[in-house]
Structure 1
Amino acid sequence: MNAELDLLVRLTDYERPQGVAERAVQAEQLGFDRLTVGETTGWNIVPPLTLAADRTDELGISNDVVSPYGRSPALLAQTALTMHDASDGRFRLGLGPSSPAITERWHGLEFDRPLRRTREAIEVIRSVYDDGNPAYEGEIFDIAGLNYEREVPESPPPIDLGTLGPKATEMAGRFGDGWTPQLFTRDGLEERLADLERGAELADETLEDLRVAPIVRGIASEDREAAREKARSTIAFMLGAYGPYYGDSVAQQGYSDVVEDVRAAWQDRDTDAMAAALPDDVLDDLAPAGTPAEVREWVEEYASLEGVDAVRIGFVNEMSEAEKETTMDAVADLV
């Protein structure tokens, strides 16, 4: 497989941040190129990622994703530069607009103008990268500026954008160094790559200048049907209960009727009906789920799409440790 292989782990799977570091060591031994974690309302990502960086030598370290509502742009820059030093330059900063629920119900802020806020946050971060100072005058942020207390590295952490829609993805191509989308079919991803390329052209760059690492959530098991039911429940829940964006995106990829049925079931909080509303063909388009051989083939085909630089493998809900091991082993054979 020409593309790289990332491993996305969930902080809720571990009792202590050190567990993430133990998984990172395992990922490096298996040949994964990068480890990444997300941040919502649980642990702060910095301690577990710092531990992961400290216990590995070559494994890339990333996050999926933090938002400019949860951290100020200057703090985002500080976080990235701290992780750069902790990982000996192996860190990539994942940034995205997040969602209304997390922004309003966790951070207590209004989810206003998310794309503009994200763009300005990137510009402030790059100001710190370039000059060691976040001084900035924009529509959202107005920062007088102070000097960063340490020397800024010559090659500061790249910024990857987690976006879904056409305008947001164009922004990722124009202002980011990489793109980490989620829940895209092969056809849907190819269509959205055109938006990413258009943004890159606005920055006088090409797709080759960006690291495209789509996230896929999957499970490999010799018990094929059990694996598929776990994946089906997870994907259906993401479409129906994770706020509007994932469902809207998949609807726009040609599955509006399916998304409508899944959302209707969620109105009754009927998770069994949500899963039942997700047909096999849609599950197969969105997630690698089945035997190890089937999952390996799915990931290999997805990675072969033109413009894809890495596939970021995440787990589905309710997986046992044995199923996680089987899934990692299955895709690691592609490295």
Structure 2
Amino acid sequence: MTLPLDVVVQTREHDHPGGVADRAVQAEDHGFAYVSMGEATGWNVASLLSVVAERTDTVGIANDVFSPWGRSPALLAQTALTLHDLSGGRYRLGLGPSSPAITEDWHGFPFERPLRRTRETIDVIRQVFTGERLEYNGEFFQFDGGLSYDRPVPDDPPGIDLATLGPKAVEMTGRFADGWVPQLFTADGLRDRLTDLERGAELGGRDPSEIRVSPLVRCFASDDPARARESTRAMVAFLVGAYGPFYGKNVAEQGFEEAVDDIRAAWADRDTAAMAAACPDELLDAVAAYGTPADVRETVRSFLDVEGVDAVRAGFVSGMDESDKRKTMAALADI
């Protein structure tokens, strides 16, 4: 039976793409619904997913997330359709507005109107998925109907998931996407934001129950709960303080403004120990699952119990060794 769980592979912790595929096989053996992986400045995740598609049979594959500046909309559509064919229809395309650092310092584009660019990217991808000639007149993209996808298109093209945080971005997700993959939300924060998703679905004439909601929750099951707690604390603090402006803003708006200010002040000095010290237990307990296997299962269930949530996307914590990851996956497989 497929679990209401996905698992995120940390690609930077593998020395060879084959290791990523090995982790995906483990996820499949445990019954996880999807295996996903992020892309920043490391390996090209489209290539990794090709290897994963060949090495697995039943587990879904996805990415967290492609930047709308890193690839053209047409190339994103080609990539998605290729992975769809390679995997026998198991692929979901993950997109997100990205961040100023990745957009400007890696891809070399100004970070301007990210929601509009994301919306137009989705529009163009969906048009490519139809197999018709590409004709579009947007603010970022214009096509005159000269070309179309040069392969047969499937009747069931890949779903498009968005990783968004703020009210307007989540409303856009509800209007135009097939899935929502939020991160660093409390259970109550998810409930509040799901109203934005539902409003967007209503504006788009869509059924919100057909949008797959899979919040990403960092998980660390261990026989040493104190170690799991402190490792998780360090990672949550780093995500809040160092991963661009949006995660911290979102966490602050969920009632942790003082903690976010303290974490960011420590990051300004690049003091990672002080960042972790500034991350209170209340924040950690609200957004992450750590401790004994039973503790982790209980926290993950609290997210699955949120009405509108379809699955939890379990992410590992930096500093976990191979034994930690296997224990965590096994713990979640018993949920």
Q: Which moved more, 1:137-146 or 1:184-193?
A: 137-146
1:327 is the counterpart of 2:323: no
Confirm whether residue 42 of structure 1 aligns to residue 42 of structure 2: yes
Give the conservation status (yes or no) of the 8 Å contact 2:3–2:32: no
Listed one character per residue, the Cα deviations across residues 150-209 of structure 1 (whole Å, up to 9, x for unaligned) are 011111001001000000000000000010000000010100000000000011112211
Aligned partner of 1:112 in structure 2 is: 112
Local SS of the residue matching 2:150? coil
SS of 1:70's partner is coil
Amino acid at match of 2:266: A
Counterpart for residue 154 of structure 1? 155
Amino acid at match of 1:149: D
Aligned partners of 2:136 and 2:142 also within 8 Å: yes
Superposed displacement of residue 253, structure 1: 0.6
Identity of aligned residues (%): 60
Specify the SS of the correspondent of 1:288.
strand
**2: CA distance between counterparts of 1:36 and 1:44?**
13
Indicate whether 1:303 and 2:304 are aligned. Answer: yes
* Residue number in structure 2 paired with 1:18: 18
Q: Distance in 2 between matches of 1:146 and 1:51?
A: 29
Q: Take 1:223 and 1:231, find their aligned partners in 2: how far apart are those partners?
A: 13
Aligned 8 A contact 2:248 2:260 in 1: yes
Q: Aligned Cα RMSD in Å?
A: 1.2
Distance in 1 (CA, whole Å) between partners of 2:132 and 2:158 is 14
Tell whether the 8 Å contact from 1:127 to 1:134 is kept in structure 2 after alignment. yes
Provide the rounded CA distance (Å) in 2 between the counterparts of 1:186 and 1:2: 23
Is 1:212 aligned to residue 213 of structure 2? yes
Q: Is the 8 A contact 1:262 1:273 kept in 2?
A: yes
Query: Aligned with 1:94: secondary structure?
Result: strand
Q: Quick one: which amino acid aligns to residue 94 of structure 1?
A: G
2:81 corresponding residue in structure 1? 81
- Post-superposition shift, 1:3? 6.7
Runs of 4 or more above 6 Å deviation: none
Asked if structure 1 preserves the Cα contact closer than 8 Å seen for 2:132 and 2:149, the reply is: yes
1:121 maps onto 2:121 in alignment: yes
Cα deviation code 1:16-57 (max 9, x no counterpart): 111111111111111111100110000111121111111111
Work out the number of aligned pairs and report it: 334
Mapped to 2, the partners of 1:200 and 1:213 lie a distance apart of 16
Q: Is 1:33 aligned to 2:37, yes or no?
A: no
> Where does the alignment leave 5 or more consecutive residues of structure 1 unmatched?
none
In 2, the alpha carbon distance for the partners of 1:222 and 1:134 equals 55
Distance 2:244 2:116 in 1: 20
Matches of 2:19 and 2:116, distance apart in 1: 36
Give the AA of the match of 1:276.
A
TM-score norm. by structure 1 comes to: 0.98
**Counterpart amino acid of 2:218?**
R
Alignment partner of 1:172 is 2:212? no
For structure 2, the residue ranges without an aligned partner over 5 or more in a row are none
Indicate whether 1:260 and 2:261 are aligned: yes
Q: Which residue of 2 aligns with 1:248?
A: 249
SS at 1:308 equivalent: coil
- Report the CA distance between 1:134 and its aligned residue: 2.9
Cα deviation for residue 305 of structure 1 reads 0.8
* 1:105 aligned partner, one-letter code: D
